[in-house]
Amino acid sequence: MIDFHYGTYVQYCLSGDPNKPCSILQFKGITFMLDCGLTAQTVLNFLPMPLVPSTRLDSLPGWMPRDCSDSQLERELKECCGRVFVDSTPEFQPPQSRIIDFSSVDVILISNYLCMLALPFVTEETGFKGMVYATEPTMQIGRMFLEELVENIEQTPRASFASRWKEFLHLLPQPLSNCHRPRTWKHIYNLTAVKKSLSHIRMVGYNQKLDVYGALTVMAVSSGYCLGSSNWVIDSGYEKIAYVSGSSTLTTHPRPMDQPALKNADVLILTGLTQTPTANPDSMLGELCMTVANTLRLGGNVLLPCYPSGVVYDLFECLSSHLDNSGMSTIPMFFISPVADNSLAYSNIFAEWLSTAKQNKVYLPEEPFPHAFLSRTGRLKHFKHIYSDGFSTDYRQPCVVFCSHPSLRFGDVILFMEMWGSSPLNTVIITEPDFVHVEALAPFQPLQMKVVHCPIDTSLNFTQANKLIRDLKPGTLVLPESYLHPPIIDPA
Amino acid sequence: MLYGSMSDIKVTPLGAGQDVGRSCILLSMGGKNIMLDCGMHMGFNDDRRFPDFSYIAPEGPVSSYIDCVIISHFHLDHCGALPYFTEVFGYNGPIYMTHPTKAIAPILLEDMRKIAVERKGESNFFTSQNIKDCMKKVVAVTLHQSIMVDSKLEIKAYYAGHVLGAAMFWIRVDSQSVVYTGDYNMTPDRHLGAAWIDKCRPDILISESTYATTIRDSKRCRERDFLKKVHECVERGGKVLIPVFALGRAQELCILLETYWERMNLKVPVYFGTGMTEKANNYYKMFITWTNQKIRKTFVQRNMFDFKHIKPFDKSYIENPGAMVVFASPGMLHAGLSLHIFKKWAPNENNMVIMPGFCVSGTVGHKILNGAKKVEFENRQIVEIKMSVQYMSFSAHADAKGIMQLIQYCEPKNVLLVHGEAAKMEFLKTKIEKEFQLKCFMPANGDTCIVKSDVNIPSSVSLKLLKDEAKKSNILPPDPKRQRIIHGVLVTKDVSLCVMDVDDACKEAGINRHLIRFTSTLRLEDSGSPSKTAEKLLQLIKTKIRDLPLQFTDCTISVESVLVKVESSEDEMKTVYVSWDNQDEELGKKSS
């Protein structure tokens, strides 16, 4: 709690994951929810959900704790290479609703499309009456993320759900036994809830001053992390709070980060720093291109589990030009996601939210991203699913496949893992930093295909964050607790 | 010369004052000078085509007089003089326009330059390099983004609908503000949305008034009429010429015709006659976020700007026999391809020309719309007009109803009309003054209009007063969702103002406080005991005063300093005594 002259500032944290933040800020009698992130770590405890039944997964042995004879539990757990998984539709941990009643939230501020996946859990059937603010790309691309998540899970429906295991947590092996309050986990929402939830969003532009009950102004400023990503400035006219979430000072496709707007705040809330502090995004990108070229040269296929928007655009651009330079311009690239067509189309109409270099292209007029050209010329082919019209005729090996979902628990990516996993010629490259790659790959073991870990996280690293704090000179700094300790993998 | 008293707002049109074409308006407020649009006049080929920039600064460099230039949209009568102003006249300050305007304006400027220099052989015109250099100075803005030009001058763009990227601008210096509409459209059409602005209550609304006297019939009727005329003409084997500008109405009419051709399964060729068809449509594809909701929703499946039936035109087709429809630029038939085709087709009564937009005086378009049967050209060539001439207002301007609607939306304190014909403006001016009781101005070019405006005077509030108030209402912190009234006295100290507690102010000034108490006696007809009557009154007062503590003893009700007392008397007529301090005047009124 921080005291100002006239108004107290209180903040609560509703999410344990600083990269999928969700917190409550009360200031001048107004209750804000800062971001609405949904941690998907919980899904790693579940077995993958393949579109067509997999004999390998089906024949995994069941697992039972010693000295336990619960008949219901028997069918719920399966063992794979010494790891125990729940054989059911994956569940998620929504933001905690015990601390605050969601119906009392006045305003939700969404920083970027990766921080809004819990929105239907907060706005639907909770009595929520407030307003949600987000930029247009955040809203449109966020919609794709939400829809993709729902479609991926809904395409493999199950007759029954496992829940008995939650009663026997103390008897289960790690990491299952470490699950945090699994009884509060929920199944994913449906498309109706997504649609209703998105209808609460009011689209805002960068540097648009929004009036909140005449007491505060709120303004989104560019954060440089992804298309439409923003930081927020909350201003009472006398006190200023800056909320920094998911920012980047690297030069990729988004508009650069606006730092002057965040200067001299009374309170700076900083979250969403890199999840891979030891990996340099540039060298990872270089390694990735090399790996892809080497695999293809030997006749193998490359699988890149990915989200439907974001770094994947940079990968299309870099990889296609690297393959051109390596004399492999005829190798097809496939982008498979229920929202692939939307993602490619929308990315090319958001010129106003892009870096100056990309923006200048529309003045010619040319599409800002080269993937428009790549898909026109047939170099990059996109499909909603692998069973969509035309995929089987276009498909030829060797090839590069970008496919969702990076957790490897749902989506068409599972089919490629099963199909290509047994050949050492093939390579899977893990780029998305949201999931620990060893955990994500565990239910597919033993794997013959090569696994290359090239995490690309463009968000601020700790050095950049420290420099930012020095430059911004906040009165008070508010951080997630975990940022106060050095990371376990890099104690220095 | 532009500076005046700080509280006055001055508006001087250099163009578009009681006229259409050459929009350029100087705005001066709070010590800041802003140029709104920098257009050229299509009806003139001489000096009159550009605004008279020498008016701004007869001697000195112009940049020190103008703080910024704002361009509302890409039409040449709004941006055509910009390269001349920056590269020839030497303005090097900031220029603001939206992203689509920044993308498309240089294309149209270059087109016009080519026609003027290469076809008409004019010298003393700006060059291609001038256009490029000029555009480098432009800052692109997005809708609703608040831009601080400097520490005092703020601007913000709103959607105007008129053409792709058209914007209205809200301009603020301290507490004074002005809205400049540029050209706007209040009804959504097939490819654009309707103009929108919030209740920003500017001191002046500077509005276009092209269609000041027109109330247009429904859009659907106009469209049906247009399609019927085109269809009838091609059915009898005639040729239809539709002069349009390559960007803007062209896309709207193409969508209309494309849908009709598809529905009616027509085979008559439709051409889009300019080298930049595809390029123009590409701008629309990339700035899809600026089009209307329907197009934005469906663009992933089908981009409305990919036309199936409309093919590029080649000059050799002019002599082709049989029916055809041709869209050709420019829209006012003053030069270029449209004029070329017009000369060939005009003598045949089977053909038709449809003018879908406004034509400024001096252009061929304007002449034929006024019924000219013969038109003479520079080389003494005389063309007889036998073809049917149709006018259909497809210009996306607000009509009288739309202008009134915008006034209602943003609630200005004054209205100033530009970009219209004097007689029509006069009519609208009367209407606005009558319906809204607002002052309405319509300065001519070069005339300065001075509008007095209120200036906010900031005052501080004593901390003690605020704290006492918070204690009294027992809410900490103050809740912005429930507003309260605070009592105090405004005290002048040196040059600053301060709201203070009354007793403290008296003490500080060494004045004894005198209280005035108002008393009034009312007579009520009410049977029953006095306490019954008092109770009835209490219920009544409770409904009116909700957030203050009421005290009730015997026959007396008191709130703050207000006292309501029913005199004891057993007859039908009751005497009610009401008394209050003058500081509780509001409360006292409510009680009595």
Q: What is the pLDDT of residues B518-561, one digit of tens each?
A: 888 888 777 777 878 888 888 888 887 777 777 888 778 888 77
Q: What is the pLDDT of residues B157-175, one digit of tens each?
A: 999 999 999 999 999 998 8
Q: What is the pLDDT of residues B363-372, one digit of tens each?
A: 899 999 998 9
Do you know the residue count of chain A? 492
Residues A399, A439, single domain; the answer is yes
Asked if residue A491 belongs to a domain, the reply is no
Contacts for A239 with CB less than 8 Å, ≥ 6 apart: A4, A5, A7, A266, A267
Contacts for B474 with CB less than 8 Å, ≥ 6 apart: none
Residues A232, A286, single domain; the answer is no
Interface of B with A in 74-113 (CB under 8 A): 99, 102-103
Distances (CA, A) of B336 to B322, B332, B339, B344: 23, 10, 6, 13
pLDDT at A233: 98
Distance CA B537, CA B525 (A): 13
Asked if residue A230 belongs to a domain, the reply is yes
Q: What is the pLDDT of residues A399-452, one digit of tens each?
A: 999 999 999 999 999 999 999 999 999 999 999 999 999 999 999 999 999 999
Contacts of B282 in chain A (CB under 8 A): 365
pLDDT at B1: 37
* Residue B225 DSSP code: H
Give the rounded percent of residues in chain B with a pLDDT score beyond 70: 94
Asked if residue A425 belongs to a domain, the reply is yes
Query: Which residue, B405, B429, B412, is CA-closest to B178?
Result: B412
Q: Is B297 on the interface with A (CB under 8 A)?
A: no
Q: What is the pLDDT of residues B42-74, one digit of tens each?
A: 778 778 888 988 888 877 788 889 999 999 999
User: Is the pLDDT reported for residue A6 higher than 60?
Assistant: no
Question: A5-19, A341-355, B443-457: which has the minimum mean pLDDT?
Answer: A5-19
Q: Is A349 on the interface with B (CB under 8 A)?
A: yes
Contacts of B155 in chain A (CB under 8 A): none
Distance CA A179, CA B442 (A): 73
> Could you give the number of structural domains in chain A?
3
Asked if residue A314 belongs to a domain, the reply is yes
Classified as helix, coil or strand, B376 is strand
User: Is the pLDDT reported for residue B269 higher than 50?
Assistant: yes
CA angle A454, A458, A463 (to 5 degrees): 105
pLDDT at B577: 84
Contacts of B156 in chain A (CB under 8 A): 208
User: Is the pLDDT reported for residue B589 higher than 70?
Assistant: no
Q: H helices within B336-421, ranges in order?
A: 336-345, 364-369, 400-410
Q: What is the pLDDT of residues B304-363, one digit of tens each?
A: 888 888 888 988 999 999 999 999 888 888 888 899 999 999 999 999 999 987 787 788
Residues A150, A260, single domain; the answer is yes
Q: What is the pLDDT of residues A243-291, one digit of tens each?
A: 999 999 998 899 999 999 999 999 999 999 999 988 999 999 999 999 9
Q: How many CA atoms lie within 13 A of B174 on its CB side?
A: 15
Query: Which residue, A280, A206, A281, A256, is CA-closest to A357?
Result: A256
Residues A250, A297, single domain; the answer is no
Q: CATH number of the domain at A233, please.
A: 3.60.15.10
Asked if residue A170 belongs to a domain, the reply is yes
Query: Of B288, B466, B479, which has the smallest distance from its Cβ to A29's Cβ?
Result: B479
Query: By residue range, what is the domain housing residue A400?
Result: 281-453
Asked if residue A490 belongs to a domain, the reply is no
pLDDT at B474: 63
Distance CA A346, CA B154 (A): 31
Residues A296, A323, single domain; the answer is yes
Contacts of A209 in chain B (CB under 8 A): 146
- Work out the pLDDT band at A489, boundaries 50, 70, 90: low
Whether residue B208 lies in the annotated active site: yes
Which tops the pLDDT comparison, B217 or B223? B223
For chain B, the average pLDDT equals 87
Residues A405, A466, single domain; the answer is no
Q: Is A209 on the interface with B (CB under 8 A)?
A: yes
User: Is the pLDDT reported for residue A460 higher than 80?
Assistant: yes
Highest mean pLDDT among A71-80, A115-124, A474-483: A115-124
Which member of B208, B223, B252, B258 is catalytic? B208
Asked if residue A489 belongs to a domain, the reply is no
Classified as helix, coil or strand, B563 is strand
Q: What is the pLDDT of residues B95-149, one digit of tens each?
A: 999 999 999 999 889 888 887 787 677 777 889 999 999 999 999 999 999 999 9
Classified as helix, coil or strand, B428 is helix
pLDDT at B26: 96
Could A29 and B480 be called an inter-chain contact, meaning their C-beta atoms sit closer than 8 Å?
A: yes
Q: H helices within B370-462, ranges in order?
A: 400-410, 422-436
Residues A352, A467, single domain; the answer is no
Residues A399, A418, single domain; the answer is yes
Give the rounded percent of residues in chain B with a pLDDT score beyond 90: 46
Domains of chain B with bracketed CATH: 9-215+396-443 (3.60.15.10), 219-391 (3.40.50.10890), 460-509 (no CATH), 517-591 (3.30.310)
Residues A235, A289, single domain; the answer is no
Contacts of A7 in chain B (CB under 8 A): 477-478
Could A359 and B99 be called an inter-chain contact, meaning their C-beta atoms sit closer than 8 Å?
A: yes
Interstrand relation of B324-328 and B270-273 (parallel, antiparallel or unpaired):
parallel
Q: CATH number of the domain at A333, please.
A: 3.40.50.10890
ipTM: 0.88
Which tops the pLDDT comparison, B407 or A491? B407
Classified as helix, coil or strand, A210 is strand
Stretch A155-166: mean pLDDT: 88
CA angle B454, B455, B459 (to 5 degrees): 130
Distance CA B367, CA B269 (A): 29
Asked if residue A224 belongs to a domain, the reply is yes
pLDDT at B475: 55
Highest mean pLDDT among A6-10, B356-360, B397-401: B397-401
Distance CA A391, CA A403 (A): 13
Q: In the beta sheet, which residues pair with residue B206?
A: B180, B416
Question: Which of A352, A353, A384 is best to mutate for the B interface (most B CBs within 10 A)?
Answer: A352
Interstrand relation of B270-273 and B310-312 (parallel, antiparallel or unpaired):
parallel
Residues A286, A362, single domain; the answer is yes
- Work out the pLDDT band at A220, boundaries 50, 70, 90: very high
Residues A79, A145, single domain; the answer is no
pLDDT at A13: 84
Contact indicator for A216, A25 with CB cutoff of 8 Å: no
* Closest residue in A to B475 (Cα–Cα): A29
Question: A130-139, A303-312, B5-14, B201-210: which has the minimum mean pLDDT?
Answer: B5-14
Q: What is the pLDDT of residues B270-294, one digit of tens each?
A: 998 865 566 778 888 899 999 998 8
Residues A298, A422, single domain; the answer is yes
Q: Is B279 on the interface with A (CB under 8 A)?
A: yes
